[in-house]
Structure 1
């Protein structure tokens, strides 16, 4: 219902309108008339949104990734205590993604229905508790079960945040924002080594518990607390954000709706269309390649560094910071450049090709520690830097309910790379005593992923 009274805010003609949203009953927002908002007011609005949302969800992602990858450091003690082979460890690390795959789409559809606050509370609280429960495993079977449950409970966090950010940011701002969010991977990687090894050494045999058991307790509990905070801190939709002025809420609505109109042609909008859209499967294949590369580094980084001749756990933890430090810098700069030139396809493909080169160089340079660390850092920086650039493409292509199901579906299929690469490395290493052939295979998958994006995604569709 349109009210005839009008107001002027920041020099912009506004007409208050009453609208209903999915998450609230009625919300009054100013509607834009003929006078556009200034660039300064738009930028100011998005700075305010970013300072409100990004630091918190960044911290949540740090804990998410830390609880996911700390197994790589725990296994330095855990493998011996439980009698795990490299193949069994690789399977346990990867089985996380089986549970993750099964529940991603339902979780994202639920987020669209009940909102981010309740969804992230459920996810973080349950995954934190499950991570803590890892301390109780005593054999292979229990290890596999708890990793599977961790995947189930963490399912939906990453695609849920991706979907959540599409409510707030138009496509032209999305790659940089996703890069800032995804630097949580980098920070988790930077602190995982020294913090995890430090906990295992400092708390080993305290109250009769091994260091790896304390690791899961002390790194799992913060996630449960952050879940509770999410319930009271986050805002489900821009229209619900009382910390924004009415004009700022209207700016967000204007920016997002303008983008929807600009790219509406050819968009997939219905959730049922997602599963019949061949391009969604091409997106998933491309992301699968980057995920293979990223998780090969994530789960095997400590043992790769150990294979370069470093034997002390403390030194392994410190050296593991080098690839992640480089990754953080490259990811932000690469995403910023992608947003500036409004190009996604080649930014993803070149990152995938560079990551492939890194994986090929790791076995060829392992006799030289500096060269091996350089190759490892290249593989890490390039494969992980491809991720925020990638997500700017499907979020521009999908909208409405298709975005909720499509983002989760793409991510779910791609996370099979998180099953494949850890298992492949562990199995080949157990069979041959070397992981070299597995790294070459991962390089080939990365090349395939880069080529797939170039062939299947139109340049115009990726320029948002």
Structure 2
């Protein structure tokens, strides 16, 4: 990770002056590791239910459809509180609000260990969504407060490697916890929820002490570094608003914002439909729980590399839409082709490629709304896209569960969720180029171009 952060500033161009390079390297090293660890904990608590299902479903008598609903109902709670949460964050600051989110979702995730049936399971998953609402879009918004636009694709790519890393690590650790079996009156799946909830609560207090709300308060930057960053970000904000300044109301009615929401919805249909059912798909290959963890980790290990490479290439070329569209199409193709495959090895290769595409979408996708929005409009717009788009996280697992119960096979379910990625591909190509993505003159000081990507 240190190597990746060391290259967070643009590679090689001689016109980038020393203060920019040193400032952005210091900001990246100060903020990104902590944010990655927090997102690691968030995603682990969100998807560990997939491994718990290997024994929990039998213990509590859940069908695949009930598990799919429970896995996805998280996103209804998330949807309801997403926009209010992000607006509160923009008012009170990231430090206090992100700490609150971490602590409350950690506590609720741990309580999942004590569900006793369908309704308590559905209720606690809904509450988990309420507690975590605003975390991811809040981080995306927070990154726009610190990183000029020409850095964002690779920075988001580095930050979001926390997802595949959490799934890789979570797959290996979760499978071993499940294997421990009953202890102290609790089953393995119960210990899974309890033990994996602890890091989120601890990190909440770390964030409260360590995080800085914005560059103006960054005492750990030199005065000239702080001044440069504040001026650079202000110049970019002025450039966006010179083209069009959106109010919050205009943002929530904007056609382009809603089309981007549809793109994100499609990504989540395919992403969560796979991640929550992957351990069950792999178990059909005839492997034990321990080896299941290793095999289930493979798509996400490859995805971590794809995210960073895709984001860096997008920043170097300055192109966003087609990078995101190509990633969506790879996601579609990798999942859809599984309907024709019976060999476990070939199916895993296809799933690896599909997940590489799914994970590579985000680093370029999130540069699109942040190129047109600022201030409260950015807080509301990013939250809207994430809130509504994340409802795809309900539809994907639901489709997988219902189709599995109806056909006895996961292949048609993979084809169904692949359609979400295909819709995302079509919409991104149709959206075309936004002139806010073009390079604009440097008004923040000599040395480097100011861009509005």
Q: 1:117 aligns with which of 75, 84, 95?
A: 95
Number of the residue aligned with 1:27: none
Q: Which runs of structure 2 are paired with 1:58-457 in the superposition (5 Å)?
A: 58-202=36-180, 204-307=181-284, 309-365=285-341, 367-457=342-432
Partners of 1:293 and 1:40 in 2: CA distance: 43
Cα deviation for residue 159 of structure 1 reads 0.2
Contact 1:63/1:222 (CA < 8 Å) preserved in 2?
Answer: yes
SS of the aligned residue for 1:355 comes to helix
- How far does the alpha carbon of each residue in 1:324-359 deviate from its partner, in whole angstroms, 9 at most, with x for none? 111011110011000110110000101111111001
Contact 1:117/1:231 (CA < 8 Å) preserved in 2?
Answer: yes
Contact 1:293/1:380 (CA < 8 Å) preserved in 2?
Answer: no
Cα deviation for residue 38 of structure 1 reads 5.6
Number of the residue aligned with 1:14: none
Partners of 2:117 and 2:46 in 1: CA distance: 19
Contact 2:57/2:63 (CA < 8 Å) preserved in 1?
Answer: yes
Cα deviation for residue 457 of structure 1 reads 4.2
- How far does the alpha carbon of each residue in 1:185-236 deviate from its partner, in whole angstroms, 9 at most, with x for none? 011111111100111222x221111000000110001100100110010000
SS of the aligned residue for 1:393 comes to helix
C-alpha root-mean-square deviation of aligned residues, in Å?
A: 1.3
Contact 1:159/1:408 (CA < 8 Å) preserved in 2?
Answer: yes
Partners of 1:222 and 1:38 in 2: CA distance: 39
Partners of 1:322 and 1:173 in 2: CA distance: 28
Cα deviation for residue 456 of structure 1 reads 2.0
Q: TM-score, normalised by structure 2?
A: 0.92
Q: 2:17 aligns with which of 2, 23, 39?
A: 39
Cα deviation for residue 387 of structure 1 reads 1.1
- How far does the alpha carbon of each residue in 1:120-170 deviate from its partner, in whole angstroms, 9 at most, with x for none? 111000000001100110100000000000000000000000000100011
Moved more, 256-265 or 270-279: 256-265
Cα deviation for residue 97 of structure 1 reads 0.2
Q: Does 1:53 align with 2:28?
A: no
Mark the structure with the bigger radius of gyration.
1
Contact 1:290/1:384 (CA < 8 Å) preserved in 2?
Answer: no
**Higher relative contact order structure (alpha carbons within 8 Å, sequence separation ≥ 6):** 2
Partners of 1:255 and 1:419 in 2: CA distance: 40
Moved more, 293-302 or 410-419: 293-302
Partners of 1:166 and 1:409 in 2: CA distance: 17
Contact 2:281/2:410 (CA < 8 Å) preserved in 1?
Answer: no
Partners of 2:313 and 2:266 in 1: CA distance: 22
Cα deviation for residue 273 of structure 1 reads 1.2
Q: TM-score, normalised by structure 1?
A: 0.90
Q: Which runs of 5+ in 2 are unaligned?
A: 1-14, 439-452
